[in-house]
Chains A and B, each alone.
Chain A
Amino acid sequence: MTSLLDTRKQVDGSLLQRQVVVLGDALYRQLYNVPPSSSLLLDKVDVSKSYLDSWLDVLSSVPRGTNVLMSNTNSTIVSMLEAELGVLCNQAESVRRMPFHLSSAVLYTSTDDDMPVLTIVRTKTFVFHLALLLAVVAYLVLFRLFITILPF
């Protein structure tokens, strides 16, 4: 769960850039089996702070609550992310939208569309219902055995 206090000011773009450089450096060395050296591979893994900042600005200003996304399958943020991945990913078949239905919860919203309201009701899983069924059956079998075996 995110908080209303989780605003743009919570994230320092410079620190995020340093962290992404470290991740990128380690990934590059992993993929190309590059031995350790005394410096980061900044010429190989170029991470732009302005690029990170601009995406942080966008992501902070576009509502992307789960129910907002559910009620609008063509949401702006999903289209933007898809377009960006399309530009960055070089595999022809690679960028895929993979829609799915939420099975673990049911979302409710208010009748007034101007005021997005969210209530969530967690639903039990299939495994829970199966376990409950087995427990009930086991109980009934034991009860039946208890009745039939005991000589009343």
Chain B
Amino acid sequence: MVVPWETVECAAQLEAIVAEKGAAGVLVVVPAQTVQSTRWAGVERDLLRTSLVRAPVFFTRSPVLDDALLPQGEDGYGLFGDRWVATQHARSKQHRCPEGSLTNLQGSISPSPSVDDRLNQQPSGGSNRPHRTVAIVANYDTFAVAPAAHGGTKANGSGVAALLALARAFNHVASTEHNYTDGDGEEESNSWRLLFVLTAAGPFFGHEGAAQWIKAADPDIVKSLVFALSLDSLAGDDRLVLHVSHDPGNSSGPIADFYRRIAEAAKLADLPFSIDNGTTSAAHGPFVARKVPPSPKKKKILSIKLKLLRRSRRAPSALVNRSPPQ
């Protein structure tokens, strides 16, 4: 029995077909051409989260079947050759994955020291001047109903490719431009570090990879973070959606400056642009949840509160020491 895939609305419908026909299995021929289908995404979610369909479900991108079932002239199939992949089903015997570990990757780029810096360098090596660090984060793993048969190009191959391209561009910048020093040459006014973090365990796991990186990273680096920028699902449409660790609308300082600068650059490039203020929708979620870096506005509010607290503590003693009116 052949059922057009676009007519399948949920996993329950698949199970109904299996039960009615007494099918021993379901074969899904995934269309190779560019297709957008939120309905099919829902079916995949159902298959992933439940064991509703009692027969094994197979997926294929086999060129032979594509040619037979899809309009002629479409190319681009065969990313995975004719590999056949099965998803879970109720009768399958499964065992727990070995306690393997996942891996975050971290790399950083800083400008090469200027000649003056080299001459003034400490014998222990390296300038002790603090860096202003910007973290660029992207998750590189994927999570889907058939783990070996999906590309995850948009989510989040695009973010990973963008991160690497930025690292490549700033590698060139760092090797050709030096840090700036101010007039007397003592205080460095522009010492920066770009931190590139590729994380595993992405959105489906609440970006646990990013959270684990914050836990394991060098505290000095985390302290020096100015803001974190998450690259997620880029180039899906014309709009550049930016995920940042602070809402620029309610922030001041570097993140507000960056927001202004990126708005200017997007305008110059004639590129629609918006900010994602969500707290968990991308890899910046754990940064927001752990207040890394701390919000400058909150710091200010905290300092005002502390001042008020000190004043209120002083007030009773002032009343006691006040001499009575003559």
Contacts and interface: CB of A to CB of B under 8 A. Distances in A.
A88 B148 contact: no
Contact of A70 (B101, B106, B108, B144): B101
Contact of B150 (A2, A40, A94, A99): A2
B18 interface: no
B144 A85 contact: no
Contact residue range for chain B?
35 or more
B36 interface: yes
A55 B174 contact: no
A4 B149 contact: yes
A45 to B, nearest CB: 5
Interface string B135-161: 000001111111111111111011011
Q: Main SS of chain A's interface residues?
A: mixed
Nearest to B150: A4
A11 B97 contact: no
Interface in A62-93: 63-73, 77-78, 81-82, 84-86, 88-91
Contact of B103 (A4, A94, A99): A99
Contacts of A102: 102, 201, 205, 208
A92 B146 CA distance: 39
Interface of A: 1-13, 15-33, 36, 38-40, 44-48, 51-52, 55-56, 59-61, 63-73, 77-78, 81-82, 84-86, 88-91, 94-111, 115-120
Contacts of B172: 46
A13 to B, nearest CB: 8
B168 to A, nearest CB: 5
A5 B107 CA distance: 31
A27 B132 CA distance: 12
28 contacts: A1-B41, A1-B144, A4-B40, A4-B145, A7-B153, A11-B234, A20-B166, A25-B265, A26-B264, A30-B261, A31-B134, A38-B268, A40-B265, A47-B169, A48-B168, A60-B152, A61-B151, A63-B150, A65-B147, A66-B201, A69-B141, A91-B107, A94-B108, A94-B109, A95-B105, A104-B206, A106-B97, A117-B92
Given A6-B155, A88-B171, A1 B30 contact: no
Contacts of B117: none
A24 B170 CA distance: 8
Interface stretch (B63-71, B189-197, B297-305, B313-321): B189-197
B203 A1 contact: yes
A23 B103 contact: no
Contacts of A51: 164-165, 168
A68 B100 CA distance: 10
Contacts of B271: 18-19, 22
Contacts of B107: 85-86, 88-89, 91, 94-96
Contact of A90 (B45, B110, B234): B110
Nearest to B96: A108
Contact of B205 (A10, A30, A33, A66): A66
B112 to A, nearest CB: 7
Interface stretch (B8-16, B209-217, B276-284, B287-295): B209-217
Contacts of B110: 90-91
B88 A117 contact: yes
B144 A3 contact: yes
Given A6-B150, A59-B161, A61-B151, 7 more contacts: A7-B76, A22-B265, A40-B265, A66-B200, A70-B101, A71-B98, A81-B105
Interface in B61-99: 76, 79-80, 84-88, 92-99
